[in-house]
A and B are shown apart, each in its own frame.
Chain A
């Protein structure tokens, strides 16, 4: 009886050991690449959101609400704006957005980094026509779907999510970054 029990324990242990070994190996082998890709994605998004900047530096800020990373964009040594990464709630999950804001608090551009919206519906938030609506917006604007922002037909929640995200990025800029 005991012998069988010990046998079973050993078998389970060995299987788990091998599984963890395989997983640890794969994790270690892919870790760097994954981190590199993540950073590359962020910087690419920052470039699209704030095209006039030539280089970006990660700006250490306390994460607040849905705001994640912030990148200071510079050109010729001067600050041309900030790229704020924000993840508002969408329809299928959080929408990872990069909002480019110039020193006067106006949106320069936005880029959708990652989303789980339905392709063809909420997925249209990636399209130029939708994203360009936010160019030039500031906290002085209403930033409300169906008022100054056109929603995507059949994807109101996704549209609202992006709009709220832009608003949050602008508010974050105002409270934390303006004048820095």
Chain B
């Protein structure tokens, strides 16, 4: 693998190798959580936190873990950070925590986190791993923010953030399908088209 610059390692997660829209991993949680823009904000934050810290720790101990035990150890590390995020949200962001429900603990099995741990953090230096985590996390977050924004706006006619309606489409009759399951797939299909266009593939 060529030695990429730090900026390239960061940038790749955002468009060229966007985890959700290009690599298409971690879709399950994204589909479920993007019914409301505010949810995606917190989910994105949690994913970035877990990804950056677990990449950091895994990269830190990468030379001391025996190969045969790496997956269980990755899981222990990832699960610990997810639990920390879970407890912190429960204490300080209770409203969002209640809405996100089971999806926060499910970050443990989000392929993105385990995937980056195995593919990158366990083979690269600490700082680079942190940057990779940050880039991937931001790419994931941008994707779900966009999906959440579109789905909430088109599906309910407004965007409600922290109990304040910040955008309203007035007399628009909402297309409820967007907040239901088929709408999730539709929205993501369009976002994938968008990413492919941004990547230059026609």
Interface set of A (CB-CB < 8 Å, partner B): 4, 7-8, 11-12, 15-16, 19, 22-23, 26-27, 30, 33-34, 37, 41, 92-93, 114-116, 118-121, 154
Contact = CB atoms under 8 A, between A and B. Distances in A.
Contacts of B91: 30, 33-34, 37
Contacts, number: 74
A119 B87 CA distance: 23
Contact of A15 (B36, B76, B152, B156): B76
Contact of A34 (B61, B77, B90, B101): B90
Contact of A23 (B35, B83, B92, B156): B83
B199 interface: no
A19 B66 contact: no
B90 A30 contact: yes
Nearest first, the 4 closest Cβ-Cβ pairs linking A and B are: A33-B91, A30-B91, A19-B80, A120-B179
A93 B101 contact: yes
Interface residues of B, number: 34
Given A12-B69, A119-B35, 18 more contacts: A8-B68, A8-B69, A11-B65, A15-B61, A15-B77, A16-B76, A19-B77, A23-B80, A27-B87, A30-B91, A33-B91, A33-B92, A37-B90, A115-B98, A119-B36, A119-B179, A120-B35, A120-B174
13 contacts: A11-B69, A12-B69, A23-B83, A26-B88, A27-B87, A30-B91, A34-B87, A92-B101, A116-B101, A118-B180, A119-B36, A119-B39, A120-B179
Contact of B87 (A26, A93, A114): A26
B171 interface: no
Contacts of B174: 120
Interface of B: 35-36, 39, 61, 64-66, 68-69, 72-73, 76-77, 79-80, 83-84, 87-88, 90-92, 94, 98-99, 101-102, 152, 155-156, 174, 176, 179-180
B197 to A, nearest CB: 29
Contact of A121 (B68, B76, B92, B180): B180
Contacts of A93: 101
A118 B92 contact: no
